Structure formats: structure tokens, C-alpha cells
Chains A and B, each alone.
Chain A
Amino acid sequence: MGEPLLCEISVPGRAGFRFPEADVPLEKLPEAFLRHELPMPELYEVDVVRHFTRLSQLNHSIDTGFYPLGSCTMKYNPKVNEEVARLPGFAFTHPLQPVETVQGNLVVMYELQEWLKEIGGFAGVTLQPAAGAQGELTGVLIIRTYHAWRGESQRDKILIPDSAHGTNPATSGMSGMRVVEIKSDPRGNVDLEALRAECDETLAGLMLTNPNTLGMFDENVLEVIRLVHQAGGLVYGDGANLNALLGIVRPGDLGFDVMHYNLHKTFSTPHGGGGPGSGPVGVAAHLVDFLPGPLVGIIEEGDEAEDYPPLYGFVYPARSIGRVKAFHGHFGMLARAYTYMRMHGREGLRLISDYAVLNANYLQARLRDTYHIPYDRVCMHEFVAEGRWVDAPDIHALDIAKRLMDHGFHPPTNYFPLIVHEALMIEPTETESKQTLDAFADALIEIAREARENPEILKTAPHRTPVGRLDEVKAAKELVLCCAVSTAGA
């Protein structure tokens, strides 16, 4: 049986948590504003702890198994990061405290800004955006504001490759830009002819994920960037796939004007079942003034001779697009990412990408005889295989994904990118061992055999998970989205 809901284990009169009694004289409560019913559950601490502990046991997680999810970079989340984020000096500081009382926090943020600049090859970095998608929005707003400032607000067209993550066109749409899709060529690069045709005076920019969602490093990236710049546009880099490029190449050196980082991908901060993430944005020199504020800067120089350190504080860029959220960013995630970077250093960062790319190519080599790889060249940190076979016409990528769960693996990303049929996008990350990769490859090869010999077992998979395939149509039609205490039986 499944775990009941909180509203179902609530018992009237139960209390879980006691506060001390008021030590001040009681003020008359504001009658006109008082709430008469508070339909919240009444639970005992043990019930709450057991409820959530048992729920956790229904989850797959990095701590329990492999997640070869393309473009998600599900690498190991170091436990020391959790210690750091919880240090009282970090966890209990208020965002609006006087800067003199939080120099430790500001140094961490300042250093992180500097590290991200160096890694990406950028002149300025903001740590404010809450996630990659918000980083994208920040980037597109910077591009739009930049063109308007230069008197070119007719530039409203954003070009997006057909392999792009859905957040790219969604972001552009949200920002009021016109989206034009650019197709990929047979080798998985941006089609240069298609690109040239769109380079006109309405071009605001190109959003490019490189390596792209096929795991391919664009073989013409310099030409792509040159064409866009020549037409007066800017190039936005979706940094979701940065795990392939640390110490390998700096997007800023290639000519990217603005790029977001995903700290919850490349820099090991945990996914949390759907966040929180953090999406810092780096920009080239000509865009530094437009960054969201506040940034962390040195507001009073120190003196090395006298041995007193600089004073860090908040600075506002001259032509800032403004705030993208309250306060200054997800500090808890920034502290984790910074710790991770310090433990890798310049050599370690390079090794991350070395091993991420080696692991992906190794898996691709192990699987290419069993699964069709449509773009069969050296991949970067991920590759895409087709989840279908001519001689097993009833089997789709979905069935393969569900059967993988019976082997204890989370499936790869399914049905994305849209340009590959029955896509399985596989990204092992550098923290997985050869044993894990071999076990995964073996499982996929076994599933390929089952597809021909025993397709029913795939069609009805998963069998060994807490629940089986779910009725998504029923969920969307009946729309039961919450459970209220009062309706759940006294």
C-alpha cells in the first residue's frame, strides 16, 4: 500500500511542536482580521518524520543509483558542500545585514564571480539568477537592452537551433522577442546556410548550446559566431553543457557575448527533486554595465602593507537591467559551488571535463552496435541514441526507459532533442565508474534482446518499482491537486 497523505493521518487535538509560552504581556488580538478556521493537519513529530522518511525511500536518487540524464549533469553531490552551507555563519546571516557584518559571505561571492569569469572567459558575472532558465531570461534581457541602448530596437529576432532545450524559446517568447528556428545539418552542427539567410538588421541574437543537446561540439562554431556578430547580433551561450568544456575551451574566448552557468549541473549543487538551482550569468566587456544588480565588488581598497583586507560590498552596474529577484541570489548554492571549485582547482576542473567526455565516448562505443547513433562521431559529455529497432516495431524509447528502472537505473532523457526519433540522451558524468557504465551498457544490451524475444515485458515495465506506469490522462482530466484536512474524514 502507498504512503497516506498528511491530511489522512491528521488527528484532531494532536500537536507536534511546542513553543515556549509568551514572556510578554498579551496584546489584544485584532478581531476583525482573525482567521476562524485553520484547516491544517494535526500531527505528532514521529508521524511526520516517519511519513517523510518513508516517502524518501520511494525515490531514486544519485545517492542510490545512476542517472544518465542528458544535459542534466547528474554528478555526485559532495557531502562536504552540505556541511559548508549549514555553517551558522552562512546559514543564519540576513541578506540585509550591514556589509561590515557579512564580509565572509561577500568574499565567497566575490571569489565565485572571479572564478566563473576565469572559467568562462568573461569580463563580468552576476550571481543573482535563481536557475538556468532565469539566467537565460537575464541574458536575453541584457541583449534586448543593449540593442535598444544603441538605438537598434528593431532587432527583435532570436535564432534558436532546432535541438535547443525548451527553455530557450520559452525565454525568448517571455521577453517579447520573435523566435526563428534554425535547423541542424546532418552532422549536428548549426546549418550555416540557414543561419546566413536570417542574418539581417532585425537580428538580436542567437541562442546556442555548445556542445549541443546531441552532445556535439559545433564544428563551425567560430564561423557561426562571426556571422551573427557581422550582422550586428549577439551570441547567447546556454551553459547547460559546460561540463564538457572546463579547462577545454572558454566560451568567451570563442566569442560568446553572454552565457549562463547552471551551478546545479556543472558545479555539483544538488538537484533537490526540482531545485533550488542557481543560474549565474557571465558577460563580455561590452555588456558588463547591463548586468542585474547588485553585484559584489570591492568598495574600499585594502592595504597589503598594513595587512588590512579590502571591504566588500554591493555595487550597481551603470546601465543595469535591474533586479531579477529579491536580495542577491541563492547564497546557499553559491557557497556549495565555491567549495566544489576550491576542491578541484585549475587541474581538477580540467579533469572533470576529461573524464566526463571519456565516460560518454566509452558508453557510446559500448552501445553503438546495439543502438543506432544518428550522429556517430566523437561526442562530448553526452550522446544521443535511438530507442527503436526496425525488427521490433512495437518498442519505443519509452518502453526501454521503463525497463531500465527494473535494472535499478534512472532512464536517460527521453524524446529530447526533438530532432531525433525516439531519442535517448545519455550523459554519464565524470563521477561514475567503469563498473557502473558497464552495468548500464549491459542492461541496455539485455533490453535490446528482450525487445525481440519478449517485447511484452518491456511494454508492461516497470515491474520492480514502487508503482507501475501511471494514468496520465486521468491525472489531467480529474485534476486532483491537493487534499484538504477537513474533507479527509474526521
Chain B
Amino acid sequence: MRDETVGDMLGRRGFSRRGLLKFAIAMTSSLALPPSLAPVMAANLAAARRQSVIWLSFQECTGCLETLLRTDSPTIAGLIFDFISLDYQESLMAAAGSAAELTLRQAVAANAGKYLLAIDGSIPVADGGVYSLTGGRTNVSMLQEFAPGAAAILAIGTCAAYGGIPKAFPNPTGAVGVEDVILDKPIVNIPGCPPIPEVLSGVLVYFVSFGRLPDLDDQKRPLAYFGTTIHDQCYRKPFYDQGKFAKSFDDEGARQGWCLFELGCKGPTTHNACASLKWNDGTSFPIESGHGCLGCSEPDFWDQEGGFYTSLAGGTGPGWRNAGIAAATGVALGAAAAIAARRKVP
């Protein structure tokens, strides 16, 4: 089983070569690759060994894993589990306790230097990292032990990529992202709270097909999915351009599907593929459902100035009380200057 190629395994399952090609066409499109690469991808996939993936869950809510599993029918997301061998995943595997630990060590040893290390959840570093333990071991120590043997690390979800919600002020656990702990391994950040399932499967397929990671941007995100903003692809952009904004939820403009900029949509500054790939197999995405983008695939999205419902044009001002104090201070300073001046004027 271990040495079976993907093509063999798919053949056993009754999945034809044509089906694989159709899959490859869909993937190359999703990855914004030239269509001519589809047959190459299909051939590579057929000849590939199943890729070992070791998945460590740290300080997370399990939402990133759930999003990958929420498929009603065989889809791209579903098929991915045929191309990879998920050798360790605490929520899904049957083993527990010391049996699970043994599985982990065996998988690491058997695939040394070749496994993909998938991380979800942030890594707490405060107080020696005691805030998240697996079998008594801190996340930090586990990451530091298993990163060296990986071919690359996938930081899945905003928590693993940037620290996410646990990092929100005041960050009591000292939560950080993978890239703040591991500095000497290729890392792919796949942010999103949660990330779009097709994005993860696209990265994995690319790796399995071409033996390397896809092109990344300066925040280590796959350019194919994070190269544009929600705003760039949003179907409501014409309303933005025409200045048609919903002023409150469920007002006339909102019902007409107008742009949600004034209701705090962070689409223009959020890089992700939600507006094109959408969610739940292309059903919808937050803006289409009438709520502005929260910016959940960007660092520190939870702490952004003014919160989710303050537009990008606004932020957090000093407030009227502080402004009043400032005015009084100004008058006092001016009065002091005037008094000094009066002394000079005979």
C-alpha cells in the first residue's frame, strides 16, 4: 500500500485517467497556472507516491480541520485525501494516548526529510508555553522537534500563520504564528479563519504534482489565492465605483445588494480568494450574504482599529473627552504665553 502510486490507487477506486485529467484542469485553473500544465499535472499525479502529511494541532478551535471536512459530496476537497497520506491527525485518527505518540514517531522516522508538516492553531510561548500541551508536551517543543525533518511546513489558518484570535489583545498566552518560531524551513501560510478548503487542496496538489511549493508572496501566502484582495474580485465592486453604499444592515441599499464599505467591510485590504472561489463549494461568501468582510486572513484582524463595523475610512479617534482635555491644555498654554507677553507690553 505504501509504495502504491496515486494512479494505481485511483484506478483501484474506479477513478479513470480522464477523471484525473478533469481534476487537473480544475486545479490548474484554480492555481492560476497555464492550461497546458494540466496534462503534466495529471501525469505527475498518476506517477506520484502518496505524500505523507503529519498534522499537528496546537492552540486552535478545530475550525480549520472542520472546514476541510465539511463536504457533502465528493469534491476537490474530498479527493485530496487520496493524494496524501494523513499519517497523523489527533481528531481524526483512531489511536489515542501512547499509541498515538508511537504512530507519530514512526511516521516521522519513515518519512524523514519528506513529510509535509501541517500546523493549525497558534503557538503559545508565554510562561514556557504551558497554555497548550499535548500529552504534557508544549506546542513549542513539539514544533521545534518535528520541524527539522519536514520538507516544508504548512501553517493552516490565521492562528498558525499569524497568531490569530488567541493573539488578540492582551494576548495572555503569548500566542504567535509558526513563522515566529521556525526560522529555517520553507513555510507556506494559508491564512483564513478558517481558510477556504480549495486553497489547501490546491497547495497540496501543486506540491505533489511538481515537487515544490507554489509561488508565495512576501507574507509566504500562495500568490495564486492571495495575490488579489476580496475587493478586486468582489461582485459588488460596481456599486463601490458608483458610490452606492448600504448605510445600515437591511436598509434599502443593503437589500439592493449595494457595497458594504460603510458597514466596515475590509475587502479592500484583505487578500484571499473568497470573492472568486467562495465557500461551501461556491455557494456564497460573507459579502454575498450581506455582511462585510472581517479581514480574517490578515494578521491582527481581530484587533484592527475601530472593530469590524468601522469602515476603512475611519478608525479610532481620540474621543470627545480627550479632545476636550486637549483643547483645555491648548488654552492653558496659550494663556501662559499671553501672560508672558503681557509682561513685555508696557
Partners in one complex: no
Q: Contact residues of B with A, CB < 8 Å?
A: none
